[in-house]
Amino acid sequence: MATTSFTHHTIAIQQVEQILLGARGHGADVEALLHRAGISPALLQSPLSRVTQAQYAALIFVLRHAMRDELWGLCRRPLPLGSFAMGCRLLIGSRTLGEALHTGLRYYRLLLADFVPRLQVQGRVARVSLVPRGEPSPALAYAERAFSFLAYGLACWLVARRVPLLAVDYPQSALGHSNDAGTLFQAPVHYDQPCTGWRFDARWLELPVVQNAQSLGEFLRQAPASLLVKYRDQSSVTERIRRILRRHLAEELPSLEDIGRQLAMTPQTLRRRLHEEGQGFRGIKDDLRRDAAIEYLARPELTLLEIAAQLGFSEASTFHRAFKHWTGVAPGEYRQTHLRER
């Protein structure tokens, strides 16, 4: 069976639960919305299950139009449809990233009632922060996190490169700590902070804005799905290790020492670099096998035995136990629900 050297990261079902909080609060038919996005409602019963990036992006699109709200009913008042496109049109006229961030966050301060987005510079560190205005709630906490991620993705698009982050800040909230945050932002996540936001070296504020009206049209056709993957740092240690491991999934995976030799780094340096990126070697291996399994289960021409072999399992029963441990759902059940929705 042909394989590729790249497997997309999947998304935790908690992200699906949280983005649905607004729809649930407004009495929408959540099961119908999930069906339209190609997600089986049965997956919500397993707290370990995952969805693909394409499914999550489809859910964003469905919720946006069903709720007539670009923050999906999570806030006290809706963010009007077209707000994001209008904001992008304002920003492509900016000279630098710093100018664009000031303009964009000022624009959204006119539209948002529940938190105040600001750009602050202290010494050599710039910080985008979302200061809450009212009482916290799980729905508003997720709205802040989603806005923070989309703002970061937009900033990277404007300068056509990933802006490396020093840290991502999350306050203590009823949502708990998201294990996906470090993967999404590719940066260490600091919890129990005063407010949601992200920090970066202030020198990046001088990066020129390179997008224009022509590139904006294509960007808007692909957003928000493009923001999930377009500016991932493929040169990060995490992604380089993931690509090396991906080539060896059907056999015994290389050790940290083996990978260190390929990357010309000592194991100690690798561990330190992974820690700086908020990752661990064992977690990368488990996440890759799980994401590849989900990718293969979406291909009906592959048997469970073939999938097990491609993931390096000698027996289908061992793969069955591992997949259930990763997702809380047996691989056959996951495949049936995914293919039925598709």
Instruction: Compute the radius of gyration of the chain from its Cα atoms.
Output: 21
Position 311, amino acid: L
Q: Give the mean pLDDT of 284-288.
A: 91
Note whether 115 and 154 are same-domain residues: yes
pLDDT classification of 30: cutoffs 50, 70, 90: very high
**198: β partners:** 128, 168
Note whether 211 and 261 are same-domain residues: no
Total tally of structural domains belonging to the chain: 2
Note whether 250 and 189 are same-domain residues: no
318 assigned to some structural domain:
yes
pLDDT at 176 over 60: no
314 assigned to some structural domain:
yes
Instruction: Print the domain residue range for 142.
Output: 80-229
pLDDT at 85 over 90: yes
Q: Give the mean pLDDT of 249-265.
A: 92
What is the reported pLDDT for 151? 94
Position 199, amino acid: R
139 assigned to some structural domain:
yes
Note whether 219 and 104 are same-domain residues: yes
- C-alpha to C-alpha distance for 99 and 209, rounded to whole angstroms: 9
Question: 124: how many CB neighbours lie within 10 A of its CB?
Answer: 9
Note whether 215 and 156 are same-domain residues: yes
Note whether 201 and 96 are same-domain residues: yes
At 122, phi and psi to the nearest 5? -125, 110
* Both structure tokens of 63: 């919720």
39 assigned to some structural domain:
no
319 assigned to some structural domain:
yes
- C-alpha to C-alpha distance for 215 and 194, rounded to whole angstroms: 36
> For 40-76, what is each residue's pLDDT tens digit?
888 898 888 888 888 898 999 999 999 999 999 999 9
Average pLDDT score over the chain: 88
pLDDT classification of 3: cutoffs 50, 70, 90: very low
pLDDT classification of 174: cutoffs 50, 70, 90: very low
Note whether 284 and 319 are same-domain residues: yes
Domain-ending residue, one of 205, 229, 253 = 229
DSSP 149-202: HHHHHHHHHHHTS---EEEEE----TT---TTHHHHHTS-EE-S-SSEEEEEEG
Note whether 194 and 333 are same-domain residues: no
45 assigned to some structural domain:
no
Between the alpha carbon of residue 89 and those of residues 34, 84, 316, the distances in Å are: 31, 9, 52
Note whether 115 and 254 are same-domain residues: no
Q: Give the mean pLDDT of 260-284.
A: 89
Note whether 91 and 179 are same-domain residues: yes
Domain-ending residue, one of 229, 264, 284 = 229
What is the reported pLDDT for 168? 92
